[in-house]
């Protein structure tokens, strides 16, 4: 398994910036054939950890959106019945999407929402999807059925990401390092949609059935 230190070495060797202390390293790619991708994951030794599960993400910010201006996010996520709070710093541009991440499980999401609002934060953007999680024990591949299409993410150490991408038939030119917020804004412009959030209701899409 590639460690964080060896991952930092990989980035130094490739003249990339070094990883932060708590790194999230990932890439996204568009999925045109979900069944083919699932078969490729199985062939590559991945196992399904969780089947497609409904996920709702709320990004919080203060008036004037100072976090967004910094390139940071404060996210409260509900995945099935589980809640998590995540802070991500501004990402480092390059071949992969790299940013410092701190995350913790939350027992009571609605109560945390009330605390954040009392501190002057409020949801500035909401996006939902149905996420399936796959793993080979070294990293994760997630398959997201979103209101704007199916997108997969490969998260792990840099060399592992590249090996996994090749095994799945994904070329490095197809790597996407944009956030879901950025992808939503691109979709919104192309579709001429008035949607303010990336939800199935606002984007006019039907929830997938599994």
Query: Residue 131 domain-assigned?
Result: yes
The predicted pLDDT at position 104 comes to 98
Query: Residue 7 domain-assigned?
Result: no
Query: Residue 187 domain-assigned?
Result: yes
Query: Residue 182 domain-assigned?
Result: yes
Q: What DSSP string describes the chain?
A: ---HHHHHHHHHHTTPPPP-SSEEEEEEEE-S-HHHHHHHHHHTT-EEEEEEEEEEEEEEE-TT-HHHHHT-EEEEEEETTEEEEEEE-PPBPSSSEEEEEEEEEES-HHHHHHHHHHTT-EEEEEEEEEEEEEE-SS-EEEEEEETTEEEEEEES-HHHHHHHHHHTT--GGG-B---HHHHHHHHHHHHT---SSB-HHHHTPPPP--
The predicted pLDDT at position 210 comes to 86
Query: Residue 122 domain-assigned?
Result: yes
Query: Residue 209 domain-assigned?
Result: no
Domain range enclosing 178: 19-203
Query: Residue 11 domain-assigned?
Result: no
As for how many domains the chain has, the answer is: 1
The predicted pLDDT at position 195 comes to 98
Backbone angles phi, psi at 137, to 5 degrees: 90, -10
* pLDDT tens per residue across all 210 residues of the chain: 455 454 554 444 444 455 567 789 999 999 999 999 999 999 999 999 999 999 999 999 999 999 999 999 999 999 999 999 999 999 888 999 999 999 999 999 999 999 999 999 999 999 999 999 999 999 999 999 999 999 999 999 999 999 999 999 999 999 999 999 999 999 999 999 999 999 999 999 889 988
CATH number of the domain bearing residue 118: 2.40.320.10
pTM of the model: 0.88
Query: Residue 192 domain-assigned?
Result: yes
């Amino acid at each position: 398994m590639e460690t964080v230190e060896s991952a930092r070495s990989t980035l130094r060797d490739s003249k990339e910036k070094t990883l932060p202390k708590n790194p999230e390293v990932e890439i996204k790619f568009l999925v045109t054939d979900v069944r083919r991708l699932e078969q490729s994951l199985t062939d590559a030794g991945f196992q399904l950890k969780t089947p497609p599960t409904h996920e709702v993400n709320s990004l919080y910010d203060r008036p004037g959106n100072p976090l967004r201006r910094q390139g940071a996010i404060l996210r409260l996520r509900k995945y099935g019945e589980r809640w998590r709070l995540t802070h991500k710093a501004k990402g480092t541009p390059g071949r992969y999407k790299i940013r410092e991440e701190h995350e913790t499980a939350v027992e009571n999401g609605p109560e945390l929402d009330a605390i954040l609002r009392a501190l002057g934060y409020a949801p500035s953007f909401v996006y939902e999807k149905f996420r399936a999680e796959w793993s080979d024990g070294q990293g994760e591949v997630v398959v997201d059925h979103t209101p704007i299409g199916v997108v997969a993410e490969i998260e792990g150490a840099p060399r592992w990401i590249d090996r996994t991408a090749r095994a799945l038939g994904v070329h490095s030119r197809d790597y996407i390092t944009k956030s879901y917020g950025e992808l939503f804004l691109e979709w919104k412009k192309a579709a001429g949609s008035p949607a303010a959030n990336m939800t199935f209701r606002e984007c006019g899409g039907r929830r997938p059935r599994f």
